Structure 1
Amino acid sequence: MDELRQIISAFQAEEVNLYGNLPQKIKRLISLAVVTALGTQNRIPEEVKRALRVGVTPEEIAEAIVQCTPYAGSARALEALDEAERTMSDQGIQLPLKSRETVTKDTRLKQGLAAQYALFGKENIDRNWQNAPPELRHIQEYLSAYCFGDFYTRSGLDLQTRELLTFCILCTLGGCEPQLKAHIGGNLQVGNDRQTLLSAVTWCIPYIGFPRTLNAISCINEVAGK
Structure 2
Amino acid sequence: MAISGFAKNYHEKMLPGYVSELLETDPEFIELFDNFAFDEVVKGGDLDNRTRMLAILAALVGAQCKSGYRIMMEAALNLGVSPVEIKEIVYQAAAYLGIGRVLDFLQVTNDVLKERGIRLPLKGQATTTADNRLEKGIQAQVDIFGPQMAEFYKSGAEEVRHINYWLAENCFGDYYTRTGLDYKLREMITFCFLSAQGGCEPQLTSHAAANMRIGNDTHFLIQIISQCLPYIGYPRSLNALRCVTEAASLAVEKS
The CA RMSD over aligned residues, in Å, is 1.5
After the TM superposition, which segments of 4 or more aligned residues of structure 1 sit over 3 Å from their partners? 128-131
Q: Measure how far apart 1:137 and its partner are.
A: 0.6
TM-score by length of 2: 0.84
What does residue 20 of structure 2 align with? Answer: none
Partner of 1:142: 166
The yes-or-no answer on 1:108 pairing with 2:133 is: yes
Deviates more, 1:1-10 or 1:133-142: 1-10
- Using the TM superposition, give the Cα deviation of residue 134 of structure 1 relative to its aligned residue in structure 2, in angstroms: 0.5
Aligned partner of 1:50 among 65, 75, 82? 75
The correspondence for 2:185, drawn from 161, 164, 172, is: 161
1:23 to 45, 48, 71: 48
Contact 1:102 1:155 in 2 (8 A): yes
On the 8 A contact 1:20/1:195 being kept in 2, the answer is no
- Please list, as runs of the form range in 1=range in 2, the aligned pairs for 1:25-40 lying within 5 A after superposition: 25-40=50-65
1:74 matched residue in structure 2: 99
Deviations 1:123-178 (A, max 9, x none): 2452x445411011101111101111111011111111000110111111111111
Code of the aligned partner of 2:223: S
Note the 1:92-107 alignment, pairs <5 A: 92-107=117-132
Amino acid corresponding to residue 184 of structure 1 in structure 2: A
1:11 aligns with 2:50: no
User: 1:220 corresponds to which residue?
Assistant: 244
Aligned twin of 2:15: none
Query: Between the two proteins, what is the percent identity of the paired residues?
Result: 38
- 1:76 CA displacement: 2.4
Which residue of structure 1 lines up, in the alignment, with residue 9 of structure 2? none
Structure 1 residues not aligned, in runs of 5+: none
In the TM superposition, what is the alpha-carbon distance from 1:206 to its structure 2 partner?
Answer: 0.8
**Higher RCO structure (Cα 8 Å, ≥6 apart):** 1
TM-score, scaled to structure 1: 0.94
Which residue of structure 1 lines up, in the alignment, with residue 6 of structure 2? none
1:77, CA displacement in angstroms? 2.0
**What is the total number of aligned residue pairs between the two structures?**
225
Conserved in 1, the CA contact under 8 Å of 2:176 and 2:186? yes
Identify the match of residue 208 of structure 1 among 220, 232, 240: 232
Q: 1:196 aligns with which of 196, 212, 220?
A: 220
Larger Rg: 2
